[in-house]
């Protein structure tokens, strides 16, 4: 059993991670600005509310965890500030010997080996480009971090999101820095299957100080 803290644990990706981790018997703490509605709370999970800019609270959550997973999205009050928050998380986690995982979006994935990133293509939605750039910067920072930091970065399929929740299948593919698509050119993954892949990575680390992607 691992002690897992999920930052942004009541959002779409975060809530799926909390649910998957609790179902597999882990000690899970969700940290977010607001508590979930009673009907949405996951049995066995602990919910803590607060602000990620409160470093004292954040550091305490890191200290009490084996793994901290960020499902924070760089929008709202976090727009343009997520990189700074996760830089602090990484620095403190390295000192505390806590593993860090980041759910970072698909924008920084390459369209082919050594090719341009999705966010640099003409088809990439302008409305999401700033978020993709910021999360790409988070990945850059992790790769440039000292070897003391144990981290992994997850890029979901490009079609991932609450608009396409899908279902749990337990069958998916893992890749590296290149976007994964099916024979019809679709790149999809359900929230439940992304969470399953992340919890399995926590249980059996296979991507140490590296990024991986998950898709059908």
Integer Cα distance of 181 and 185 in angstroms: 5
Which tokens sit at 185? Answer: 């050119």
CA angle (92 as vertex; 89, 95 as ends), nearest 5: 145
Q: How far is residue 207 from each of residues 43, 49, 81, 152, measured CA to CA in Å?
A: 29, 30, 26, 6
What does DSSP say about strands 173-175 and 151-156: parallel, antiparallel, or unpaired?
unpaired
The answer to whether 38 touches 47, Cβ cutoff 8 Å, is no
Segment 56-65 mean pLDDT: 97
Segment 185-206 mean pLDDT: 98
Q: Is the pTM of this model over 0.95?
A: yes
Integer Cα distance of 147 and 126 in angstroms: 35
Find where tokens 């069958």 sit. Answer: 171
Q: How far is residue 38 from each of residues 26, 42, 47, 114, 118, measured CA to CA in Å?
A: 21, 9, 11, 47, 38
Q: Give every strand in the sheet of 46-49, ordered side by side.
A: 46-49, 27-32, 3-7, 67-70, 99-103, 151-156, 210-215, 173-175
Integer Cα distance of 134 and 139 in angstroms: 9
Integer Cα distance of 44 and 19 in angstroms: 9
Q: What is the pLDDT of residue 43?
A: 96
Segment 92-119 mean pLDDT: 97
Domain ranges of the chain: 3-215
- For 8-43, the pLDDT digits (tens) are 999 999 999 999 999 999 999 999 999 999 999 999
Segment 81-101 mean pLDDT: 98
Integer Cα distance of 13 and 191 in angstroms: 6
Segment 160-189 mean pLDDT: 96
Q: What is the pLDDT of residue 96?
A: 97
* CATH 3.30.300.20 is right for the domain spanning 3-215: no
Q: What is the mean pLDDT of the chain?
A: 97
What does DSSP say about strands 46-49 and 67-70: parallel, antiparallel, or unpaired?
unpaired
Cβ within 8 Å of residue 111, ≥6 positions away: 117, 118, 121, 178, 179
Q: What is the pLDDT of residue 158?
A: 96
Cβ within 8 Å of residue 104, ≥6 positions away: 135, 136, 138, 139, 153, 154, 155, 211
- For 182-191, the pLDDT digits (tens) are 999 999 999 9
Q: What is the pLDDT of residue 151?
A: 98
Q: What is the pLDDT of residue 105?
A: 94
Q: What is the pLDDT of residue 39?
A: 94
Segment 186-207 mean pLDDT: 98
Q: What is the pLDDT of residue 197?
A: 98
Q: What is the pLDDT of residue 186?
A: 95
């Amino acid at each position: 059993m691992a002690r897992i803290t999920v930052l942004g644990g009541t959002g779409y990706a975060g809530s799926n991670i909390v649910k998957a981790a609790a179902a597999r018997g882990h000690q899970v703490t969700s940290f977010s600005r607001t508590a979930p509605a009673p009907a949405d709370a996951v049995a066995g999970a602990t919910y803590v509310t607060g602000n990620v800019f409160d470093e004292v609270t954040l550091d305490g959550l890191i200290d009490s965890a084996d793994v901290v997973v960020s499902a924070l999205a760089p929008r709202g009050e976090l727009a343009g500030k997520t990189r700074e928050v996760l830089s602090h998380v990484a620095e403190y986690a390295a000192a505390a010997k806590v593993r860090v995982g980041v759910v970072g979006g698909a924008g920084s994935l390459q369209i082919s080996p050594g090719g341009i990133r999705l966010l640099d293509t003409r088809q990439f939605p302008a409305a999401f480009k700033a978020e993709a750039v910021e999360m790409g910067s988070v990945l850059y920072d992790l790769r440039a971090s000292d070897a003391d930091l144990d981290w992994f970065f997850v890029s979901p399929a490009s079609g991932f999101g609450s608009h396409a929740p899908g279902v749990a299948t337990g069958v998916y593919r893992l890749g590296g820095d290149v976007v994964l698509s099916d024979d019809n050119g679709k790149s999809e993954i359900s929230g439940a299957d992304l969470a399953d892949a992340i919890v399995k990575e926590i249980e059996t680390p296979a991507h140490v100080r590296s990024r991986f992607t998950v898709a059908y």
